[in-house]
Structure 1
Amino acid sequence: MDLASIGATPKGGVKRLALTDLDKQGRDKVVSWAKEAGLSITVDQIGNIFMRREGTNPDLPPVMTGSHIDTQPTGGKFDGNYGVLAGLEVIRTLNEQGIQTEAPIEVTVWTNEEGSRFVPVMMGSGVFCGAFTLEHAYSMKDVDGRNVCDELDRIGYLGAEVCGERAIGSYFEAHIEQGPVLEDADRVIGVVPAVLGLSWYDCVVTGVESHAGPTPMPLRKDALQAATVVMQEVVAIANRYEPSGRGTVGFVQVFPNSRNVIPGEVRFSIDLRNETSPLLDKMHEELLACISSVQADRGVKVSLERVSNYPPCPFDADCVNAVRIATERLGYSHMDVVSGAGHDAIYAARVAPAAMIFVPCKDGISHNEIEDARADHLAAGCNVLLHAMLERAKIAK
């Protein structure tokens, strides 16, 4: 709640966009808490913050946890922020209990996870793992023409450490689920074995606009009616590939969008997701088959462009098992939940063994000012995080 007061909105949410003055205030607050807990602070060239508690064996790479503190324009208190503060709570608990670990423990704040002000999303972790270059990230501009490099410098978080040179022994990320599955199943902890892969498409259906009255039904080339066939198939494909299939049409433009004109062109988005590349490939092939059929049957032209394609991210089996064992040892109800949303853990998993811990959020709502979570659920997730990290970092003898 203290962190959420920085950028608080009238509806109870948070607006703290990446690399703004409010982001600086949030970063400064988290860093001050880390220093109070005795952590050393390092900032890398993309502004990622690493807060370190030393272990007894300096040769071991750190066990890391973290997330982000930037938000959507109408964001909530918990998305990302919970993962960072849960990591700090792990540190405070170790301090209070006088527990020393063999491996160092680090809590990380990744830069610009949300991608609301600057693209791409998950920028800090993406640069760290080499998904895109530092130069590319630096050059990205917001709507006012300000670039990432200058804004990092302006708020005092343009660090010197070379991105990606920091070793990671393993990585855990605690997060609200951002969906309704855990709440619906009345489970406290989601053990996350993987993150769904994603394919985004732009689809354009071109027919012939003509008068709605004089044109008989059999002689029409109605772009909208043809488009709705494809849209329905998107949902049908996802239903055929349960439980992790997802199919969404979220953006539609109709031309000329007039009451008594048969639509001549429809542009819309398609979002397909699944947990393995072969399943996602099958969904793609079925989408192409539907489009081919619609063109033949309806006398329209359909163009499809894949504009984004992220492969599924299976997490490390040992790290996932550490989460599951900790959950069972603590006696929390749990279930496996494949993440449908992207997280910094996806990129961390490219350079180190990784896993995630989910806790429920009220009504499954996130990226929304009314986003909420129960205190006992948040505490449970933090307890699981503590025990999973200790299993990897080892308690010093």
Structure 2
Amino acid sequence: MTSPTPDKITINGERLWQSLMDLADIGGYDDERTGLRGVNRLALTDTDATGRRQVIAWMEQAGLTVRIDRMGNIYGRREGADPTAAPVLTGSHIDSVATAGAFDGCLGVLGGIEVVRILNERGITTRRPVEVGIFTEEEGVRFGTDMLGSAVAAGRLTLEYAHALTDRDGLTLGGELARTGFNGLADVRLDSPHAYVECHIEQGPVLAENGVEIGVVTGVQGISWQEITIHGRAAHAGTTPTHLRIDAGLAAAQIIVHLQALVDSGEYGDLRATVGHLIVHPDLTNIVPARAELTVDLRNPDDVQMARAEEALAAFLRDLEDSRPGLSLTVRRMAKTAYVPFDEGLQKVIAQAADDHGLDHISLLSGAGHDAQEIAVLCPTAMIFVRGEYDGISHNPREYSTPEACAHGVDVLATTLLRLANQD
């Protein structure tokens, strides 16, 4: 007699944690600043390729059929009773920034694999197939465009554009896909899944502040990335009077101060501005900088306010250039994504799953970008946030979520996926 399909499942938290720690060893390094173990696994480096091969091995051990597309996106498929039905997709990314922790992206991928293991061990056949995805270059730190693999899979960016992107050494993404062996043959355009659910660490302090473990994510705020190059004139620091200088470094500082003024003004909604990369040339103590390069990261949950902030920055850059003869600026758009709301029906499924596992939850907007915002154009999409420690710090070796928090988040993921995969 066949046992009825359960409506709620709990994963093996110890096994999930071990897989997180094992993957963190690939690209692991000892961080001198914090004294902690960090992760450096930039997209399509040899280290990332090693991590990818390990996760593929775990997928295959879990019985998943693996395919790789022409962007290097990886999908592992568990067949359903109706193989013609659109699958339920979960996943995230395993590429990292240079100073990462063990959880960003990886929890969503390894959590998805753990869900498959539990379905196998419980002998559960779902009506719909379940797929686990790994998207290429989510972080955007190597090739300058975040959520890259999922953006191409969803059709926002073209494959040709993505393949032509270069890193700081002039290496193309297409070339690195070929070099590492991840230039797959599958079509990169993703057929619309039935639903997409991504489990991710919060990367912020809101869950901890509210004393809850689970976040039901309502959407992702808009993100704008620009690179500004300032051309001035080199000069001797001791012999060149201030009024005769064309100082690219000073112009960079003025831009940074102006960005903070835009934020502090309150005129652009909940605007956040960050200059995360700044370098001057020739980078010598006694030389006035001839050139400066900086990146500007703007975030805003309101697309209209984002556009106003971008125009305010552009006007300031024009005025700055006009104010100093000989100074010139060039601006390159790196990436831009609009505010993306998530499906309300899926949010309710996630909230119910959290309730059924006895886990307190709140709804919140994501301040960080995620692959889910790209897949949202294809199908109903939502996210589960897992609480982090140390004010939710991320992109840092101090990034940490407890084994219990990770397990609880993937419990909610497992029950959510099970229910979605049995929908008509």
Question: Do they superpose with TM above 0.5?
Answer: yes
- Once residues 205 and 55 of structure 1 are traced to their aligned partners in structure 2, the CA distance between those partners, rounded to angstroms, is 59
What's the secondary structure of 1:161's corresponding residue? Answer: coil
CA contact (8 A) 1:203 1:270 kept: no
Identity %: 40
Equivalent-residue separation in structure 1 for 2:329 and 2:113 (angstroms): 49
Name the counterpart of 2:149: 124
Distance 1:6 1:230 in 2: 38
Asked if 1:245 is matched to 2:265, the reply is no
Q: How far apart are residue 86 of structure 1 and its match?
A: 0.5
Unaligned residue ranges in structure 1 (runs of 5+): 216-221
- 1:276 paired with 2:297, answer no
Q: CA deviation at 1:71?
A: 1.6
Residue 5 (structure 1) aligns with:
25
* Residues 21-65 of structure 1, C-alpha deviations (whole Å, 9 max, x = no match): 322221222112112211111111111111011111222111000
Match of residue 320 from structure 1: 347
User: Unpaired runs of 5+ in structure 2?
Assistant: 1-20, 32-36, 242-246
1:193 match: secondary structure: strand
| Contact 2:282-2:291 within 8 A present in 1 as well | yes
The one-letter amino acid of 2:385's match is F
* Alignment partner of 1:370 is 2:398: yes
Cα distance, 1:245 vs. partner? 3.2
Change in CA separation of 1:114 and 1:229 when aligned onto 2, cut-off 3 Å: closer
Aligned 1:1-397 pairs, distance under 5 A: 1-11=21-31, 12-200=37-225, 202=228, 234-235=259-260, 237-238=262-263, 240=266, 244-250=270-276, 270-284=296-310, 307-308=333-334, 309-363=336-390, 364-394=392-422
How far did 1:192 drift?
Answer: 1.1
Asked if the contact 1:252/1:266 (under 8 Å) is kept, the reply is yes
Give the Cα–Cα distance (whole angstroms) in 1 for the partners of residues 281 and 45 of structure 2: 38
Verify the 8 A CA contact 1:128 1:164 in the aligned structure 2: yes
Give the CA deviation at 1:107: 0.3
Q: Is the 8 A contact 1:244 1:338 kept in 2?
A: no
Once residues 119 and 269 of structure 1 are traced to their aligned partners in structure 2, the CA distance between those partners, rounded to angstroms, is 10
Q: Which runs of 4+ in 1 moved over 6 A?
A: 203-206, 222-230, 252-259, 262-268, 288-296, 298-304
- Are residues 101 and 317 of structure 1, via their aligned partners in 2, closer, same or farther at CA, if it must alter by over 3 Å? same
TM-score by length of 1: 0.82
After superposition, the Cα gap between the structure-2 partners of 1:285 and 1:10, relative to the gap in structure 1 and judged at 3 Å, is: closer
Task: Give the TM-score normalised by the residue count of structure 2.
Answer: 0.77
Figure out how many residues of one structure are paired with residues of the other and give that number: 394
Q: Distance in 2 between matches of 1:263 and 1:121?
A: 30
Counterparts in 2 of 1:317 and 1:150: CA distance versus 1, 3 Å: same
What corresponds to 1:218 in structure 2? none
CA distance in 2 between partners of 1:229 and 1:145 (Å):
30
Assess if the C-alpha contact under 8 Å between 1:18 and 1:111 holds in 2.
Answer: yes
CA deviation string 1:356-388 (max 9, x = no partner)? 111122222211223211111101110111122
- Report Cα offsets for 1:104-163 as digits up to 9, x if no partner: 100011112223333332221122112222222223333444433333233332211111
* 1:264-321 Cα deviation digits (max 9, x unpaired): 999865443211212323444666788899999x999998957353211111222222
Instruction: Tell which deviates more after alignment, 117-126 or 1-10.
Output: 117-126
Change (3 A) 1:288 1:38: closer
Q: Name the amino acid aligned to 1:29.
A: Q
* Separation in 2, partners of 1:190, 1:157: 34
Counterparts of 2:84 and 2:57 in 1: how far apart (Å)? Answer: 27
Tell me, in whole angstroms, the C-alpha distance in 1 between the residues paired with 2:43 and 2:182: 11
